[in-house]
Structure 1
Amino acid sequence: MTSPRLPLFPLNTVLFPGLVLPLNVFEARYRALMRDLAALPEDAPRRFGVVAIRDGREVAQTAPGLPDPTAMPEQGAAAGFGADPMRAFHDVGCVADAATIRARDDGTFEVLATGTTRFRLLSVDSSGPYLTAEVEELPEEEGDGAGALAAGVLRAFRTYQKRLAGARERTLTAEQELPGEPSVLSYLVAAAAMLDNPTKQRLLQAPDTASRLADELKLLRAETAVIGKLPSLPLTEHTQHPTSPN
């Protein structure tokens, strides 16, 4: 089913359904987007589409000498993304619902959004102050054997976390702290594991939950084996995601 046109927020990260995305919004085009979303009626959903940028560029270069380095009126909504923005983005993204949009005194915004559903890009329009897109929402199919695969991924992920924490038990220890529902687990693991963006994007666009879990099981086992061969790892916040700038 084709949705109405959706505002687009390209980032150098992959957003998954159910995961929280904090944003520090300072670029002019995305400030305009947040102003429009904040002006919607209180009960209206504040939805926008997050897509990962293929070339890794997240902030377009600003022209020198402008009084406000974030203001790029002559460059437009597609600044930094080439003549055809569709080619700059991955085809599958995630709808984000902004629970909090907080305006700062300097005109920037602090936003807290949550991923909801996946979508496929059909077209991108750069004629407005920010990009908008026609999208096709993608249903989440379970696939064959998702339940058994989820149990395997759950065990593998716990082992992976303990290896990352240097076996110092600075990790999740209670079974109930991780979801048992296969699709929810698959997205949580995809977001929390230390994987590069192309791999995360592959997991996002998996045809069904079972396929995603099967891929994750192989990845977790391989990553755990690599970590096990290292003499030591510093204990860092591997599964926390910092605020994403636009």
Structure 2
Amino acid sequence: MTSRLPVFPLGTVLFPGLVLPLHIFEERYRDLVKHLLSRPDGDPREFGVLAIQQGWETLPTAPAPAPPETQPPRLGPVPTTPLPPPPAAQAEPGDVALHEVGCTAELRQVTELPDGRYDIVTVGRRRFRVVSVDKTSEPYLMAEVEWLPEPEGQEELADLLAPRVLAVFRQYLTLIRADERELTEQLPEDPTVLSHLVAATAALTLEDRQRLLATPDTAGRLRAELRLLSREAALLRQVRAVPVPLRDLAVPGSPN
């Protein structure tokens, strides 16, 4: 069984539980926000986020999703006070290739600006796979999607892998954070939540993140993340071995 879902192409990968702020200024996506706000209370106010696979190289990328809202202290509930305007997110429903697996973004906070633009805060909710795309019925893309629930049967393996990933992730954080006080934050022990947090916050390419999002189950994601974190940690150790200050090697990083 499929569902019909508005789709927003972006230069980032969204994961369930991750906070994603967006600045909406194009007319068609203002219409999308208005449509979502007009839904009756209790109806899901969500749209699909799909990462751009090819095309629109000049498309502004959205900010990388914030950590899951369930993890304190930085991972607390979505703030109720107005946020500073996030970078603008623009998308075109034209000739652009999109990845077929995405994640829904649920509206949590909407601030309408005097000129009709919106600053919104969304939270990733459900993974889906695109079955077909409708480019004509609405100003924005609509898609028929099938939901990708977490499959059963791998819970025991995921429970065994989670402590290993958590340990490697903590080691990885010591290599990328100069302030040791940042390392005292609580990290999730739930295997699925941990797999989404690692995928969204480690310095991975968009392709790596997309593969993790498309991985069917938590155990598979955790196995892949052990390999990716080990790779990234090895690269970071090599950089630190270079006898010049890290700031001299700094280059602009990708938001993905």
TM-score, L = length of structure 1: 0.80
1:30 is matched with 29
Equivalent-residue separation in structure 1 for 2:38 and 2:132 (angstroms): 25
1:193 is matched with 202
Equivalent-residue separation in structure 1 for 2:92 and 2:43 (angstroms): 24
1:154 is matched with 166
SS of residue matched to 1:54: strand
SS of residue matched to 1:57: coil
Output one character per residue of 1:93-136: Cα deviation in whole Å (capped at 9) or x when no partner. Answer: 00111011221111111111111110000011111111111000
Equivalent-residue separation in structure 1 for 2:113 and 2:58 (angstroms): 20
Equivalent-residue separation in structure 2 for 1:203 and 1:233 (angstroms): 29
1:40 Cα offset (Å): 1.9
The alignment's C-alpha RMSD in Å is: 2.5
1:139 is matched with 149
Output one character per residue of 1:11-45: Cα deviation in whole Å (capped at 9) or x when no partner. Answer: 01000001011011111221110111122223332
Whether the 8 Å contact between 1:11 and 1:58 is mirrored in structure 2 is: no
Say whether residues 1:225 and 2:234 are aligned partners: yes
2:251 is matched with none
Equivalent-residue separation in structure 1 for 2:107 and 2:57 (angstroms): 20
Runs of 4 or more consecutive aligned structure 1 residues displaced over 4 Å after TM superposition = 58-61
Whether the 8 Å contact between 1:10 and 1:58 is mirrored in structure 2 is: no
Gaps of 5+ in 1: 62-75, 235-240
- Which one-letter code corresponds to 1:97 in the other structure? E
My pick for the range that moved more, 93-102 or 115-124, is: 93-102
Gaps of 5+ in 2: 61-90, 248-253
1:47 is matched with 46
The within-5 A match list for 1:50-129 is 50-55=49-54, 57=56, 78=93, 81-82=94-95, 88-127=97-136, 128-129=138-139
Which of 185, 208, 220 aligns to 2:217? It is 208
Q: 1:58 to 1:95 in 2, by over 3 A?
A: farther
Output one character per residue of 1:150-207: Cα deviation in whole Å (capped at 9) or x when no partner. Answer: 11110000000101114x4143225xx1111101100000000011101000000002
Equivalent-residue separation in structure 2 for 1:201 and 1:57 (angstroms): 18
TM-score, L = length of structure 2: 0.77
1:77 Cα offset (Å): 6.5
